Structure 1
Amino acid sequence: MGHARVIRAGRPEDLPAIAALHDASWQEVYRGLLPEDYLGSGARDLLAHKWATMPEAALFVAESGGGLDGFIAVENGDAAYVDALHVAAGARGTGLGRALLARAARQARDWGCAGLWLTLLAGNDPADRFYRALGAVETWRGPDPDFPVPVEAIRLDWSDLSRLIEAG
Structure 2
Amino acid sequence: MPTALMLRPATAADAPLLAAMHAASWQATYRNLLPATFLEQEVGAERTAYWRARMEAPGEERRLVLIAELEEPQDRRTPVGFVCVERQPGSPWGVLLDNLHTLPAHQGIGVGKRLMQAAQAWARAQGETQLYLYVLEGNASAIAFYERQGWKYSGAEPDHMGGIDITALRYVYRLDGA
TM band (smaller chain): 0.7 to 0.9
* Number of equivalences: 162
- TM score, norm. by length of structure 2: 0.83
Counterpart selection for 1:103 from 118, 127, 145 = 118
Match runs of 1:69-148 below 5 Å: 69-77=80-88, 79-145=94-160, 148=163
Counterpart selection for 1:68 from 79, 82, 91 = 79
* Residue matched to 1:26: 26
Post-superposition offset of 1:12: 2.5
* Residue matched to 1:8: 8
- Give, in whole Å, the separation in 2 of the partners of 1:2 and 1:151: 38
CA contact (8 A) 2:34 2:162 kept: no
Query: Partner of 2:141: helix, strand, or coil?
Result: helix
Query: Partner of 2:154: helix, strand, or coil?
Result: strand
Over alpha carbons, which structure has the higher Rg? Answer: 2
Query: Partner of 2:132: helix, strand, or coil?
Result: strand
- Give, in whole Å, the separation in 2 of the partners of 1:135 and 1:144: 24
Post-superposition offset of 1:113: 1.2
1:9-34, Cα deviation, whole Å (9 max, x unpaired): 11223222111110000001001101
Query: Partner of 1:31: helix, strand, or coil?
Result: coil
- Give, in whole Å, the separation in 2 of the partners of 1:87 and 1:158: 20
The runs of 5 or more residues in structure 2 that have no matched partner are none
The runs of 5 or more residues in structure 1 that have no matched partner are 164-168
* Residue matched to 2:176: 162
* Residue matched to 1:58: 64
Give me the identity figure in percent: 32
Query: Partner of 1:150: helix, strand, or coil?
Result: strand
- Give, in whole Å, the separation in 2 of the partners of 1:4 and 1:13: 23
Residue 141 of structure 1 aligns with an amino acid whose one-letter code is: A
- TM score, norm. by length of structure 1: 0.88
With 99-108 and 147-156 compared, the bigger mean Cα shift is at 147-156
Structure with the higher strand share, 1 or 2: 2
Q: CA RMSD in A?
A: 1.8
With 133-142 and 118-127 compared, the bigger mean Cα shift is at 133-142
Post-superposition offset of 1:39: 1.7
* Residue matched to 1:166: none
1:31-66, Cα deviation, whole Å (9 max, x unpaired): 110111222333223201111141642101111234
Counterpart selection for 2:165 from 140, 150, 153 = 150
- Give, in whole Å, the separation in 2 of the partners of 1:147 and 1:23: 12
Structure 1 stretches of at least 4 aligned residues deviating more than 3 Å after TM superposition: 145-148
Query: Partner of 1:112: helix, strand, or coil?
Result: coil
